A and B are shown apart, each in its own frame.
Chain A
Amino acid sequence: MEKKSINKSILGDSLRQSFAKLAPGIQVKNPVMLVVYIGAILTTALYVLSFAGIKDENGGYIIAIALILWFTVLFANFAEAIAEGRGRAQADTLRKARKDVKAKKLKSTNNMNDYNEVLSAQLKKGDIVIVWAGEQIPMDGEVIDGAASVDESAITGESAPVIRESGGDRSAVTGGTTLVSDWLVIEVTAEAGESFLDKMISMVEGASRKKTPNEIALQILLVTLTIIFLIVTATLLPFSSFASSQAGAGSAISITNVIALLVCLAPTTIGALLSSIGIAGMSRLNQANVLAMSGRAIEAAGDVDVLLLDKTGTITLGNRQASEFLPVNGVKEQDLADAAQLSSLADETAEGRSIVVLAKEKFGIRGRELSKMNASFIEFTAKTRMSGIDYQGIQIRKGAAEAVKAFVLDNSGEYPEECEQIVRRVAGAGGTPLVVAKNNQVLGVVYLKDIVKNGVKERFEDLRKMGIKTIMITGDNPMTAAAIAAEAGVDDFLAEATPEAKLELIRDYQSKGHLVAMTGDGTNDAPALAQADVAVAMNTGTQAAKEAGNMVDLDSSPTKLIDIVRIGKQLLMTRGALTTFSVANDVAKYFAIIPVLFFGIYPQLTALNFMGLTSSITAILSAIIYNALIIIALIPLALKGVKYRELPAGKLLKQNMLIYGLGGIAAPFIAIKGIDMLLTACGIM
């Protein structure tokens, strides 16, 4: 995926686009800028008419106004084009992956060599295809047989291949990705034109970008403001004509000035940048490697106030680590360590390895050659919930307390009360107890500790300040969960979480008026994902999960949810800030223009010209030049988004009001005065 920000080709392309977007069909979509556009056309026409002797102002002045208006429109087009540019570049890369390939369509699932070659575009839902190593997967689908490593870099940008296999949660494959090894039998789940890649292209390109409800609501406000100013400026014609006849001095305002005034006052700054802000928000999300299925989803992310976070990977490091050996009934700690190490030597899990490491650190127990001991390793299964080793008639087992207890009792041993106590204590402290037994004797407990990630506590504290509740989801028992929850500083937790319990929890929060976000990958997450307001499916997840969610995280990172919320909030804040800035600007522009506009009729109004502008010509020119330039000046802000910090609503508002509200009033005063001085220095009066 293209990650470079704005390079030269995008810039050149955007310049071309700025002119292409002058087409009336495109301008109509943005009512505020349409007013400027029409104003530009009208003033140009007035300039042409001035040659025929019909002139309401000096020809040079009219053409100056007309040119500035045209530039204002071009600047707005440029802002949109540059926001789209990044997406266009990304879409081009994706299109290369979408090329048609020959698919091997199986006649039946029994014989993998009996297939027809068809074009991938002709595949229908439910068709079965086989893909061999080195070939491209022709279409989105579900793996129904086989296992293989797949290079998904075309979509995720991640070059390390991932495993795709039938059954389980890694069964979804995406068209356009390439098999690196082995083979897969795939059932096609999407047809040409509606595949994941197609959706992705149209999303990053912004082609299918619909205006979000919030954008529409803001648009309504902006149109209303524009209508107000349209009426205000249009009525100035009869007002000033009446006033001049009453005062017996001056004349009615010229149409050129009415148009210039209207453009100054209409909320052109936000009007020009509104769509860029939306596109840039989407683009920021894409850069975070998250694909939103709609713009609506991003905004919903800003509103979310309950985050369901998976414990593993988000709150704790993925793996638990052995931290203590706790022997029982007078067993020496070293003997326990020895047995635990022995049973873990062939254990490739992170927990197993951490036991070996701890035994070495504490007692210097070295690795042993298992083959020489004639030992056989017993693997952990979900059913037995134990692993261990058998050698020379000795059976060592380690595993969940219940399982080891059953094992000991079966071998007519005793399960000591002391062990029960230790198990409870470890679990109570948020750890996972692994009981170790040798034949029918319990040796003790290995304390596996969940390591809470650095910095998450502070992160959650920040989220809480913003009014966002964090809820930890874990399969652990309630005691363990409570301890970790306390250590990590989450607001609540759901222990022994089942998909049903998750769904129930989400419904419960929603009924209380909360908006809930969650991440999921498995098929059994699909109902909860469908229920959540913001549902992020992992790209590694199943097709069902991806379809139920409204975003897909290409990195499959569990912490992504927090970034998504940030991007959503930042998008809304940027819109609000620029609207405030735009309206605040008007106040200053009024003070600049109104007094000088009526000089001719009531010379006494000069008293209000405390900005000391030279004449009505320089005042109006300065205001519309400022009006055009501010669009260009604010493009970077629209693209990057306003500065975002995790603060309570009150503080955020105060901060943004200070910068964009008061700043919005002050900036034009300074800039207009500056431009006015410059124009005066150039001899324009």
Chain B
Amino acid sequence: MNMIILQDIAYFVLLVGLSIPLGIYMYKVMDGQKVFLSRAVAPVENGIYKIMGVKGNEEMSAKKYALSALVFSAVGLFFVWLIQMLQGVLPFNPASIEGTSWHLAFNTAASFVSNTNWQAYSGEAGLSYLTQFLGLTVQNFVSAATGIAVLFALIRGFILRQKATIGSFWTDLTRITLYVLIPLSFVLALVLVSQGVVQTFAPYREVAMLESRAAQTIPLGPAASQIAIKQLGTNGGGFFGVNSAFPLENATTLSNLLECLSLLLIPAALCVSFGKAVKDSKQGKSIYIAMMILFVAALGITTISEQYRGPVFEGIVTSGSMEGKEVIHGIGASSLWATATTAVSNGSVNSMHDSFTPLGGMIPMFLMQLGEIVFGGVGSGLYGMIAFVLLTVFIAGLMVGRTPEYLGKKVEPYDMKMVCLIVLAPLMCTLLSTAAAVMVPEVDSWLTNSGAHGFSEILYAFSSMGNNNGSAFAGFNANTVFTNVVGGIIMLLARFIPMAAAIFLAGNMSKKKAVAVSEGTLSTTNTMFVGLLIGVILIVGALSFLPALALGPIADYFTMR
């Protein structure tokens, strides 16, 4: 256990140390300032604007911004949908994989466009190289960039005073992709390749197994480039079916550490960017701390449960719950990854969550159900968190006898409507789709387990899709018409309702003038506020999901004892 604690501490030191400079860098990029990459990237950037026919400094209203983001995503959705169904006749298909079913293609398209990366397919068996790099990898970049763009639009809403615009979607999208995502992924992909992660267009290889000499197919492909952005952009869709539990996707302890760091890196750094952008670093810091506290608490529970609540065999000193975990990573790194991948809306795995202890599996599920705001998706996590901040500000602000305000902007009915939409959409999607699923007559045939754990498997799957995480519990057969269609729809709703609400919130905030700060203003940077924020998040989460969890992991826990 001591080793695990040391390992976790090292992880946090690296994470915080890296997130601060990256956060400042991202703020500069999004503020349009010159950065060290400007000389190399600016010509490319201007070239892209020319081709797209947009002016670099065009200012958009909230409506136009939202429309641009939605249309852009819709085009992506249909493109990825089509490319999968047609992959059988398209090039870069050495394994001669056929086109997928319409519903699986829809589910996957919705999944990647919404930055969920839920996978009802297995990469090496279901998709061609072309689909992987032109369809999915591209969406890995742009769906992440879209989330960050919308976050900065919202931040501008707080900074601007009495303005009708919130920046340009095309500029935001282009700058994030060119200055942040591509360079970071490039570096990470190179390092991963150095560790043994594959990157090739060569066809799958037949090899003879060492002991039995039987033939085995080793799947290959342009993996490293997709894995880098999969980790960095809170995507999580593995190149291979078992994701980062597969040696060619996650080869060594170092690659595991780097992949695990990249899970949280950008979402954490965005807190720093936020503070910089609103010219009050403390604001970013208090959100960062709130997220960190929730994360550390979750990590603690998962790790302890895995270490001490594993199965007990007579005569054997328990070594914790190792089922479903890779020996190279062990309990510590597996618990850390499981917590991190569900805290942020990544969903990639290096162990199988279905095999976790009941509480160890409940925490990742609960982190998703909180609405993917404990770091959450890149951009989307922080704008979701800001919605919770506004909710907290609203209740706490009333108690000090003033109309609630945040960053100098009053919180009024329109804003509350948007905030409530952001909070409500994922929650409704999750609960309603789970309820629909358990009413399907053949639901039992999709499950590996029965009883409370069976319910957990369903709840986990729809929590994952309903909160744009994409993590799979395993043990649940997802490739059915029902799950593909319903899952695809809720992934889109859970992504784009809050996104549109965040953009319109930005537009409304931008119109307002700023209120002066005084002694009577509620502080949003002190310990009290951080505590309240955590309280509101946990209460909303617990009130919404406690009954369901009681029938799943909690019942599981008590029946197993």
Task: Give A residues with C-beta under 8 Å from B.
Answer: 213-214, 216-218, 220-221, 223-224, 227-229, 231-243, 246-247, 265, 299, 302-303, 305, 464-469, 512-515, 568-570, 572-573, 575-577, 579-580, 583, 586-587, 590, 594-595, 597-598, 601-602, 604-605, 607-608, 644, 648-650, 652-654, 656-657, 660
Residues of A within 8 A of B523 (CB): 649-650
Residues of A within 8 A of B561 (CB): 604
B559 is an interface residue with CB less than 8 A from chain A: yes
Is B402 a contact partner of A605 (Cβ separation < 8 A)? no
Kindly identify which residue among B399, B452, B513, B548 contacts A573, using a CB–CB cutoff of 8 Å: B399
B200 is an interface residue with CB less than 8 A from chain A: no
Is B519 a contact partner of A590 (Cβ separation < 8 A)? no
Is A513 a contact partner of B413 (Cβ separation < 8 A)? no
Taken together as a complex, chains A and B put the C-alpha atoms of A515 and B402 apart, in Å, by 11
Kindly identify which residue among A231, A240, A302, A590 contacts B546, using a CB–CB cutoff of 8 Å: A590
B90 is an interface residue with CB less than 8 A from chain A: no
Taken together as a complex, chains A and B put the C-alpha atoms of A232 and B450 apart, in Å, by 23
Is A653 a contact partner of B399 (Cβ separation < 8 A)? yes
- The contact size tier of chain B is 35 or more
B412 is an interface residue with CB less than 8 A from chain A: yes
Kindly identify which residue among B420, B451, B520 contacts A467, using a CB–CB cutoff of 8 Å: B520
0/1 string, B492-520, CB within 8 A of A gives 1: 00000000000000000000011110111
* CB-CB nearest 5 A-B residue pairs: A576-B398, A467-B520, A569-B401, A467-B518, A467-B519
Residues of B506-561 at the interface with A, using a CB-CB cut-off of 8 Å, are: 513-516, 518-523, 526, 528, 532, 539-540, 542-544, 546-548, 550-551, 554-555, 558-559, 561
Output the least CB separation between A566 and chain B (Å): 9
Output the least CB separation between B368 and chain A (Å): 17
B417 is an interface residue with CB less than 8 A from chain A: yes
Residues of B within 8 A of A236 (CB): 547
Residues of A within 8 A of B312 (CB): none
Is B416 a contact partner of A217 (Cβ separation < 8 A)? yes
Q: Pick from B395, B431, B434, B451 the residue with the most CB of A within 10 Å.
A: B395
Taken together as a complex, chains A and B put the C-alpha atoms of A413 and B450 apart, in Å, by 114
Is A579 a contact partner of B521 (Cβ separation < 8 A)? no
Output the least CB separation between B465 and chain A (Å): 16
B9 is an interface residue with CB less than 8 A from chain A: no
28 contacts between A and B (CB under 8 A): A213-B403, A218-B394, A221-B395, A228-B424, A239-B547, A241-B438, A242-B455, A466-B519, A467-B519, A572-B398, A573-B399, A576-B396, A576-B397, A576-B398, A577-B398, A579-B395, A579-B398, A580-B399, A586-B543, A595-B550, A597-B547, A598-B550, A602-B551, A605-B555, A607-B558, A648-B520, A649-B400, A649-B520
Residues of B within 8 A of A465 (CB): 519
B202 is an interface residue with CB less than 8 A from chain A: no
Residues of B within 8 A of A227 (CB): 424, 428
Residues of A within 8 A of B520 (CB): 305, 466-468, 648-649
Closest to A466 in B: B520
Taken together as a complex, chains A and B put the C-alpha atoms of A608 and B550 apart, in Å, by 10
B470 is an interface residue with CB less than 8 A from chain A: no
The answer to whether A602 and B559 touch (CB under 8 A), given A513-B513, A652-B401, is yes
Closest to A235 in B: B435
Is A587 a contact partner of B408 (Cβ separation < 8 A)? no
Is B452 a contact partner of A590 (Cβ separation < 8 A)? no
Residues of A within 8 A of B528 (CB): 650, 653-654, 657
0/1 string, B80-110, CB within 8 A of A gives 1: 0000000000000000000000000000000
Taken together as a complex, chains A and B put the C-alpha atoms of A465 and B395 apart, in Å, by 21
Is A573 a contact partner of B455 (Cβ separation < 8 A)? no
Kindly identify which residue among A231, A595, A598 contacts B432, using a CB–CB cutoff of 8 Å: A231
Residues of B425-481 at the interface with A, using a CB-CB cut-off of 8 Å, are: 427-428, 431-432, 434-436, 438-439, 443, 450-452, 454-455
Kindly identify which residue among B454, B516, B544, B551 contacts A239, using a CB–CB cutoff of 8 Å: B551
Q: Pick from B432, B436, B551 the residue with the most CB of A within 10 Å.
A: B551
Taken together as a complex, chains A and B put the C-alpha atoms of A656 and B558 apart, in Å, by 37
Residues of B within 8 A of A598 (CB): 550-551, 555
The answer to whether A217 and B451 touch (CB under 8 A), given A303-B402, A465-B519, is no
Residues of B within 8 A of A575 (CB): 398
Residues of A within 8 A of B518 (CB): 305, 467-469
Is B515 a contact partner of A513 (Cβ separation < 8 A)? yes
Is B399 a contact partner of A243 (Cβ separation < 8 A)? no
Is A649 a contact partner of B424 (Cβ separation < 8 A)? no
Residues of B17-39 at the interface with A, using a CB-CB cut-off of 8 Å, are: none
Closest to A510 in B: B513
Residues of A within 8 A of B400 (CB): 573, 576, 649, 652-653, 656
Taken together as a complex, chains A and B put the C-alpha atoms of A235 and B519 apart, in Å, by 45
Residues of B within 8 A of A213 (CB): 403, 412-413
The answer to whether A657 and B546 touch (CB under 8 A), given A221-B416, A513-B513, A513-B515, is no
Taken together as a complex, chains A and B put the C-alpha atoms of A247 and B454 apart, in Å, by 10
B423 is an interface residue with CB less than 8 A from chain A: yes
Closest to A589 in B: B543
Residues of B192-235 at the interface with A, using a CB-CB cut-off of 8 Å, are: none
0/1 string, B294-317, CB within 8 A of A gives 1: 000000000000000000000000
